[in-house]
Amino acid sequence: MSGLFGIYGHPDAKGLIGRGMFALQHRGDDSAGIAISNGKKLIVHKGFGPVKLVLSKEKTKTFHGNMALGQVQDGFCGIEEIEPVYVSHLGQEIAIVFNGGFKNADVLRKSLWKKGTIFRTNSEAEIILHLLAQTREKDLSKALVKVLSRQVEGGYSLILMTQDKMIAVRDQAGIRPLCSGRLNESYVFASETSALKTIGATRIKKIIPGQIITVSQKGQENYAINSNHKAKLSHCIFELIYYSLPSSIFANEEVSVFQRRAGIKLAQESFIPPADLIMSTPDSANFNALGFSKQAGIPIDIGLIRNHATQPGEMLKDKFSITESVVRGKRIILVDDSFVQGFTMRTIIAMLRKAGAKEIHLRIASPPVIKSSCYCGVQFPSQKKLIASTKTAEEIREFIGADTLKFLSIGGLLSCVKCPNDFCIACFAGDHSIIP
């Protein structure tokens, strides 16, 4: 998963791109990269680690321009895999950042190989650039319409930039998020509304699924992806469950409102044992726990604290600390937002036991993930590593060491969104054929 940010037509593009990407840091802190344009030339800079490290003042002091784009990303990779991906074609420099995936990525890559294309990365972003080159269309926006309408299948959002133009795109099914706003006369794009608010952008709105927005000296121009079939809306439910900040808007819903609702529904569906307090797994389950606490009538307290100063690759036990005075001798209902492999929760429960917790009852505000082969950008482990694909709920409970374990049902989850038919639940249902 990754976070995208772009700004066009602002004298402090370098400073704003850093702030915007930092606001998206929760979407990936393994690497970051930017491209900045002074109207004549693109400068690309990328590196491993969080935004403040990669975009330090010392490393970017020579960068100047009025437009920039960037990406934060999770997942360890080689330096060439960090985006933006950059090429020069027919006298035009192009940089692109991408979030999501293609259903037919392998087919497209093999087809390009047969035509003599040489790839430097494994990213879908580079596939797009090669496909654009083969259209021989001088107008980049029109070339994108051809490529995305006729050749690409999947769920994605992207921002593309030349020396003097920026283009933002969202897939037809609205699987991956992207929104736009204005900062005075400047145009701003981001994966989440919260990032736009951070820099003071106004007139914030979602980019319509299938929309291509081009901004240049001509102003804003709108295009559309026109495939042979009308795509069904299929928003990724994990944007609400885990990826997006609670303050962001996704699918016309503030994320925190959905998460509270899911916590309430979880309490309604679950057996509620005698307990002294409710706790959340910070930070993504905080609002789930608030909803659960309200419905259950049991007080909520902070017994688990996340250390935000840790770096990628550090030990899990270093990322959390226990407030022993809160948990010692207590019967605890621990609420988490999702459940994938179980190792994190197993470690947390062991830490709580060591700190003196009397009972630990785990409640998960979503169904267990049972399918891993998502081609739309959700980075789950392989199928055999998904614990719910091979173990029963009781076997999972024994593995993690909880006294009891309950998950929110698929029906319960969908009852928490405004338009249930507009969401993709393939990772829970186990059937990825339902993705457009």
**Which residue shows structure tokens 């022993």?**
324
| Alpha-helix runs per DSSP H in 246-402 | 255-269, 286-296, 324-327, 343-354, 393-400
Average the pLDDT over each of 25-39, 243-257, 313-327, 392-406 and give the range with the smallest value. Answer: 313-327
Answer yes or no: are the C-beta atoms of 151 and 225 closer than 8 Å.
Answer: no
Q: Does position 314 have pLDDT exceeding 60, yes or no?
A: no
Q: Does position 236 have pLDDT exceeding 70, yes or no?
A: yes
pTM, two decimal places: 0.92
Q: Does position 212 have pLDDT exceeding 60, yes or no?
A: yes
| Alpha-helix runs per DSSP H in 115-192 | 124-135, 140-150
Residue 417: which pLDDT band, with cuts at 50, 70 and 90? very high
Report CA-CA distances (Å) from 43 to 8, 87, 182: 15, 11, 24
Report CA-CA distances (Å) from 417 to 58, 183, 252, 269: 45, 31, 10, 16
Residue 306: which pLDDT band, with cuts at 50, 70 and 90? confident
Residue 372: which pLDDT band, with cuts at 50, 70 and 90? low
Q: Does position 76 have pLDDT exceeding 60, yes or no?
A: yes
pLDDT for 312 equals: 54
Provide the mean pLDDT of the chain: 90
Domains and CATH numbers, the chain: 2-231 (3.60.20.10), 249-434 (3.40.50.2020)
Q: What is the pLDDT of residues 28-73, one digit of tens each?
A: 999 999 999 988 899 999 999 999 999 998 888 889 999 999 999 9
Average the pLDDT over each of 93-97, 341-345, 388-392, 428-432 and give the range with the smallest value. Answer: 428-432
Beta bridge pairs of residue 408: none
Residues 66, 21, 65: CA angle, nearest 5 degrees: 15
Cα torsion 239, 427, 341, 404: sign = positive
pLDDT for 383 equals: 65
